[in-house]
Amino acid sequence: MKTHNKIVAGLVAGALALVLAGCTGGGSEGEAYAERQQKAAAYDTENSLELSNLQAKRDKEDDPSAIRYVYVMSYAQIIGYYVAKGKISSSSSQIGPETELIRAKYPNSESWSDFIPAESPKDDGSYGPGDPGIFFFTTEGAMIETSLDYIVSDVPMELDVPRLGG
C-alpha cells in the first residue's frame, strides 16, 4: 500500500508540475501566455458604461438647482415624499477628515513617536460616529434629516402618498 501511495503522489506531483509549467512556461510560450493574460485583463475605460453612469450621477448630484423627490419609508411602506433642491447628503458626512495623523514627544525624551492615526473631532467639535441617515433641503429651504429608509428620484413617482412638509 505504501508503494501505491508513493506512485499516486508522484503522478499527482508530475501532473501538477506540467500544469504549472504550462501556466508560467519558459521562453516564448511563457511570454505569449503573459501577453494573453494582459489582454484579457485590459479594459477599455474610455468606453466603460459604469464610468459613464458614475459621471452622469455625479453631474446630477453636483447641480445645486436640481429638484429631487425623496420618498420616505417606514416598515417597507412609502409614507410620503419631500421635494428637495440640490444634493441628498449623508448625515454622517463632515467637512474635515475623520482621522488625522499625530505625533507626540516621549516623556523625558527628545524623541518623537511615529505618526499614528487618531480620531478627529466632527465639524461641531464632538467625537464619535456621526448621525445616521440623510439630510437635504426642500425647495422652500427647510432642512430635513431622517434615518428612515428612502428612495430618491429626479422625477416624481406615480404614487398616492402625501407631500410632507410643505
C-alpha cell at 29: 510560450
Distance of alpha carbon 51 from the chain centroid: 14
Give first-to-last CA distance, the chain, whole Å.
85
145 plus 80 within the same structural domain: yes
Q: Which domain holds residue 148?
A: 65-153
C-alpha cell at 22: 504550462
Residue 53 lies inside a defined structural domain of this protein: no
Q: What is the pLDDT of residue 139?
A: 95
pLDDT in tens, the chain (166 residues): 455 555 555 555 555 555 555 554 455 676 788 787 777 667 777 788 999 999 999 998 889 999 999 999 999 999 999 999 999 998 888 777 778 888 888 888 888 888 888 887 776 677 777 778 999 999 999 999 999 999 999 999 999 999 998 6
Q: Which amino acid is at 130?
A: G
Total count of domains within the chain = 2
Q: What are the backbone angles phi and psi of residue 146, rounded to the nearest 5°?
A: -150, 150
Percent of the chain with pLDDT over 90: 42
Residue 97 lies inside a defined structural domain of this protein: yes
20 plus 91 within the same structural domain: no
19 plus 84 within the same structural domain: no
Q: What is the pLDDT of residue 25?
A: 47
Q: Is the pTM of this model over 0.75?
A: no
Of the candidates 134, 23, 124, the one whose C-alpha atom is nearest the C-alpha of residue 71 is 134
Q: Look at strands 77-85 and 67-74 and give their pairing.
A: antiparallel
72 plus 138 within the same structural domain: yes
